[in-house]
Amino acid sequence: MHILVTGGTGYIGSHTCVALQQAGHSVVVADNLSNSKKETIDQIKKITGSRPGFYKIDCTRETAVDRVFSEHHFDGVIHFAGLKAVGESVEKPLKYYYNNTLSTMMLIDACRRYDVKRFVFSSSATVYGENRAPLVETMPLLPATNPYGETKAISERILSDCAAVNPGWSVALLRYFNPVGAHESALIGEAPSGIPNNLMPYVTKVARGKLKKLSIFGNDYPTADGTGVRDYVHVCDLAEGHVAALNKLTRGVHIYNLGTGRGTSVLELVRAFEEATGVKIKYQVAPRRQGDVAECYADASKAKKEMGWQAKRGLAEMCLSAWQFEKNYGQ
Ligand code: NAD
Ligand code: UDP
């Protein structure tokens, strides 16, 4: 298949480009490089031997999106392009609603005009709000705790409504849990600018001595060791989930959790990192972070049953690959 990957120079998008090309698909990336670098395209070529097509465009711009569609005959779109900083979305809600929902609408409209019937969307476990884990696709969505989460819930609804009036469309709404780690080549990975918000990139920066110590946000949650529990999933497993979705997708709208189904606490992740890398992580316990839930992990059985997809890589591999990428490319 010939696939348009928006946000394809980003963290999850770049790993998915690799997985798609290795599965025999051809890829065109559309990204405005607001949170990534064009050199990622060279890295994808180094890993796979072939260079994806590349357009530096903003997916909220109709004419720019139209140009890409007019120059290709796509079999499907995977839409990763989006802003994802939860804290920033609280401070700048309009920027998030504008970018994340308008880009989705522009792409849907282009698919309609150019008769592209497969659409895979990057959603997030954050749409479950305060539902209790294990989170199941059939749960009613609760209000997300921030505008970022709302943009995902709104985009899911827009896609569902549009699919309902476009018979023949196949839409996958993929709800990611906590993607971490990097490709085994250590050529691509997660490279946030500034001080990381997320746990794994923060841990790798502490390991490198770039940050002094990790603050563990709360140790009084109702969990086994009191620290927050999440479902960490290797980014390469996640990438393979997109290939499975493209291959297995049938007509209609299908929602899949992409997680391991296993919860890991902050302290467990720190210990796993220390064991896998041999590097000690200094930490202190700090107050809870606003908006955090105690536990968030997937019921991952639907993706396995319907798409034959299951996360294969364990916590040690996630930690080691994140560390190797940080050593190679961390700033
Ligand atoms: P990322 O920031 O590394 O990648 C997103 C890419 O989209 C970047 O390369 C950025 O330059 C590009 N982009 C943003 N707005 C754009 C626009 N209007 N037009 C063109 N390009 C644009 O983020 P990621 O972690 O790879 O996330 C990919 C997708 O998955 C996002 O939609 C994100 O919300 C979603 N997601 C991520 C996580 C996570 O923890 N990383 C979890 C759940 C969902
Ligand atoms: N966390 C932490 N210290 C940090 C960053 C995160 O203790 O510096 C905790 C956070 O409270 C949550 C878990 O690590 O329990 C995962 O947080 P992250 O921001 O990576 O992902 P989230 O699930 O919040 O999207």
- The per-residue pLDDT for 290 is 85
Ligand 2 pocket, mutate which of 122, 135, 175, 198 (most atoms under 8 A from CB):
198
CA distance 235 to 12: 6
- The per-residue pLDDT for 331 is 64
Residue 112 has pLDDT above 90, yes or no: yes
CA distance 150 to 99: 12
Atom of ligand 1 nearest to the CA of 152: 34
Distance 217 CA to ligand 2 centre (A): 7
Domain annotation for the chain: domains and CATH numbers:
2-181+233-259 (3.40.50.720)
* 287 burial level (CB within 10 Å; 0-12, 13-18, 19+): exposed
Average pLDDT over residues 197-218: 96
DSSP letters spanning 167-186: TT-EEEEEEE-EEE---TTS
User: Which of 46-60, 92-106, 136-150, 294-308 has the least mean pLDDT?
Assistant: 136-150
Residues noted as catalytic: 148
- The per-residue pLDDT for 10 is 97
**Strand 229-230 to 264-265 pairing:** antiparallel
Assess contact for 244 and 309: CB atoms under 8 A.
Answer: yes
From atom 44 of ligand 1, which residue's Cα is the shortest distance away? 124
Distance 191 CA to ligand 2 centre (A): 17
Q: Give the ligand at the shortest distance from the Cα of 123.
A: 1
Distance 292 CA to ligand 2 centre (A): 8
Average pLDDT over residues 29-49: 97
Q: What is the mean pLDDT of the chain?
A: 96
Average pLDDT over residues 237-265: 97
Note the maximum CA span of the chain. 55
User: Which of 186-200, 217-231, 296-310, 311-325 has the least mean pLDDT?
Assistant: 186-200
From atom 16 of ligand 2, which residue's Cα is the shortest distance away? 199
From atom 14 of ligand 2, which residue's Cα is the shortest distance away? 199
Q: Give the ligand at the shortest distance from the Cα of 176.
A: 1
- Work out the percent of the chain whose per-residue pLDDT is above 90: 92
Average pLDDT over residues 292-307: 96
CA distance 108 to 125: 22
Distance 6 CA to ligand 1 centre (A): 9
Sheet with 264-265: list strands edge to edge: 264-265, 229-230, 295-296
Place of tokens 């989705």: 104
Buried b (16+ CB within 10 A) or exposed e, 222-255: ebeebbbbbbbbbbbbbbbbbbbbbebbeeebbb
166: helix, coil or strand?
A: coil
From atom 1 of ligand 1, which residue's Cα is the shortest distance away? 10
122-172 pLDDT, tens digit each: 999 999 988 999 999 999 987 777 899 999 999 999 999 999 999 899 999
